[in-house]
């Protein structure tokens, strides 16, 4: 039986201690972070980590991110940190940012999927921070969703998928950011974004003076990739999706109209809400990318509940946070993407 701890109003110290002990004892605990919910296990216990892969149905060549509460945990886990890497960590940790670093032996091979690197993140969420600190161990945690599905950002979606598959679920309310962390690896002294997120290329360039986007952020990856997660089906609703975008709203409306079939559901901006004769789920204003990122994963799940024959999603400009939103939506729609 999964225990549910409600920390939406305040952290209950006894329950926090129980959750921390559960992690330490090798169990799975789902906890909130500022990005999305994580399904966590003691990162130094490879058996416990195995259970994450089983619960999610995750491919074992897709490595996990290790979450720390404070910098004192870092030196035990990674080595050879460069000046650029330190600057990035000083600037963006705690926060929605993951840095790929050279791992030490102590990190089990299943955490890093046999790579010699490991992704390190320090969440900026009090519940996550206190859970890691109280357990006294780093926590390996991928997003709390079944593999290939949209990441979990609302407690009801989490319960649907993981009730009685984990020891404890901590309810911290809806995820604030709503998209997973920006994953960065410094390659040849240049910070390279392997997965875009709330921390944008501009944010990184401001600190380091340079930043690259990895290939395959908007296209299908084949063969050897920098980030194994790029290869997999991801964020996808059960029903068929098409993603459409144009800089011109008129062309965008045309594109949507051309693709509508019987029983189509549209996910799009509040500005375009009354333009079609279909079920319409609004993700918020076109000009508020924070609002869109906050809502998008739960809307992809909500769309499925109507069981439409087609979901048409209105895209956004691939700029700033829009890069991360489009990276997720292009995958959610299995690369069915039309731009005019």
Give the residues lining the site for ligand AMP (CB under 6 A): 62-65, 100, 112, 115, 117-119, 142-143, 180, 183, 194-195, 227-229
Residue 152 binding result from ligand AMP, Mg ion, none, given CB thresholds of 5 to 8 Å by partner type: none
227 binds Mg ion (CB under 5 A): no
Query: Which alpha helices (H) appear in the chain, and where do they start and end?
Result: 13-24, 46-56, 83-92, 109-112, 126-135, 155-162, 201-208, 249-259, 289-305, 321-332
Nearer to ligand AMP, 63 or 237 (CB): 63
Closer residue to ligand AMP (CB): 14 or 80? 80
By C-beta, is 110 or 112 nearer to ligand AMP?
112
Nearest residue to the partner ligand AMP, using Cβ: 229
Partner touching 100 among Mg ion, ligand AMP, none, CB below 5 to 8 Å by kind: ligand AMP
Alpha-helical runs (H) found in 57-173: 83-92, 109-112, 126-135, 155-162
C-beta of 44 vs 194, nearer to ligand AMP = 194
Q: Which does 121 bind (CB under 5 to 8 A by kind): ligand AMP, Mg ion, none?
A: none
User: Closest distance between Mg ion and the C-beta of residue 65, in Å?
Assistant: 9
List CB contacts of 246: < 8 A, sequence separation 6 or more. Answer: 252, 255, 339, 340
3-class DSSP assignment, residue 132: helix
User: Residue 179 in contact with residue 328, Cβ under 8 Å?
Assistant: yes
Binding mask 132-151 for Mg ion (x = CB under 5 A): -----------x--------
Contact (Cβ atoms closer than 8 angstroms) between residue 161 and residue 20: no
Rounded CA gap, 198 and 200, in Å? Answer: 6
Please name which of 184, 248, 227, 222 lies closest in space to residue 335, comparing C-alpha atoms. 222
- Between 69 and 327, whose beta carbon lies closer to ligand AMP? 327
Q: Is 35 in the site for Mg ion (CB under 5 A)?
A: no
């Amino acid at each position: 039986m999964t225990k549910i701890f409600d920390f939406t109003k305040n952290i209950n110290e006894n329950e926090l201690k129980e959750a921390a002990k559960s992690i330490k004892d090798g169990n799975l605990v789902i906890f909130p972070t500022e990005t999305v919910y994580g399904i966590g296990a003691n990162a130094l216990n490879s058996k416990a980590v195995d259970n994450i892969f089983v619960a999610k149905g995750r491919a074992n060549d897709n490595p996990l991110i290790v979450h720390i509460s404070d910098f004192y945990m870092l030196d035990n886990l990674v080595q050879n940190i460069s000046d650029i890497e330190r600057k990035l960590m000083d600037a963006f940790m705690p926060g929605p940012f993951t840095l790929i670093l050279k791992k030490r032996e102590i990190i089990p091979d299943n955490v890093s999927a046999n790579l010699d690197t490991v992704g390190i993140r320090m969440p900026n969420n009090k519940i996550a921070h206190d859970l890691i600190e109280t357990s006294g161990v780093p926590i390996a945690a991928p997003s709390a969703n079944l593999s290939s599905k949209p990441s979990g950002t609302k407690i009801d979606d989490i319960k649907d998928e993981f009730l009685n598959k984990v020891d404890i679920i901590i309810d911290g309310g809806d995820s604030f950011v709503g998209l997973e962390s920006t994953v960065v690896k410094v390659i040849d002294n240049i910070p390279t974004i392997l997965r875009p997120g709330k921390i944008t290329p501009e944010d990184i360039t401001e600190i380091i003076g340079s930043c690259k986007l990895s290939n395959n952020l908007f296209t299908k990856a084949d063969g050897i990739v920098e980030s194994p997660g790029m290869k997999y089906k991801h964020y996808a609703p059960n029903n068929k999706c098409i993603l459409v975008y144009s800089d011109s709203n008129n062309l965008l409306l045309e594109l949507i109209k051309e693709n509508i079939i019987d029983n189509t559901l549209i996910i799009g901006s509040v500005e375009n809400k009354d333009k079609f004769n279909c079920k319409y789920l609004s993700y918020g204003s076109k000009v508020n990318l924070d609002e869109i990122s906050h809502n998008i994963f739960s809307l992809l799940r909500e769309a499925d509940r109507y069981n439409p024959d087609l979901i048409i999603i209105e895209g956004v400009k691939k700029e700033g946070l829009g890069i991360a939103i489009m990276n997720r939506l292009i995958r959610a729609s299995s690369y069915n993407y039309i731009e005019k």
